Amino acid sequence: MFEYEINGKKYVQKKTVFIQAKELIDLVINVLNEKADIEAPEDDGGEIASRTAVEWAELLGDKFLDAVAIVLIPEGKTARERNIKNAVADLELAELDIIFQIVEDFFSLNKAAGYYQRVLSIMTKFQAGISEEKPQPDGSQSTGSESSISSPPQTLQK
């Protein structure tokens, strides 16, 4: 766990939990969706630790501080109790060294290469619009856009 003082408030960073990972993935996908000219980072063989905070800032643009805020938790609160907008406002007044340290600490706390590979795969598929073809019982191919989930059985009320 890492502790920071930002704008007179104490924040902690722990190993990323599911809600934070989901928020980070959603943020990256939204950035890619908004800026069609941005390409997903190339597969670097898991060398995510070699990427700098500046490179992440360039990729995420004006959403960079949102990503940093997602991994921070105000002292004494849980990940679910965070207020991202308040954390972003505090980060806007933080020294750059602290922001860069938060990014570096994130990758030292988490299995960054594994997360990165998964996110990279999702981003690449999202950008390419890949949908796996699924064989149908009649031998035709599905584009993947149809739902394969069947309706639950209905019960009769007496």
Tens digit of each residue's pLDDT (9 = 90 or more) over 16-68: 888 998 898 888 888 877 765 555 555 444 444 455 667 777 777 788 899 99
Question: Which runs of consecutive H residues, i.e. helices, occur in the chain?
Answer: 18-34, 53-60, 64-71, 84-91, 96-109, 112-128
Structural domain range at position 102: 2-130
Range with the poorest average pLDDT among 78-82, 86-90, 100-104, 141-145: 141-145
> Is 98 domain-assigned?
yes
74 confidence band (pLDDT: 50, 70, 90): very high
For 100-138, the pLDDT digits (tens) are 899 888 888 877 556 656 666 676 666 666 445 445 566
The count of domains in the chain is: 1
Q: Give burial (CB, 10 Å; 0-12/13-18/19+) of 130.
A: exposed
> Is 149 domain-assigned?
no
Report the interhelical angle of 53-60 vs 18-34 (nearest 10°).
60
Which residues partner with 2 through β-bridges?
A: 13
> Is 41 domain-assigned?
yes
> Is 150 domain-assigned?
no
Residue 89 CB neighbours (<10 A): 13
> Is 44 domain-assigned?
yes
Give the pLDDT score at 146. Answer: 45
Give the pLDDT score at 33. Answer: 76
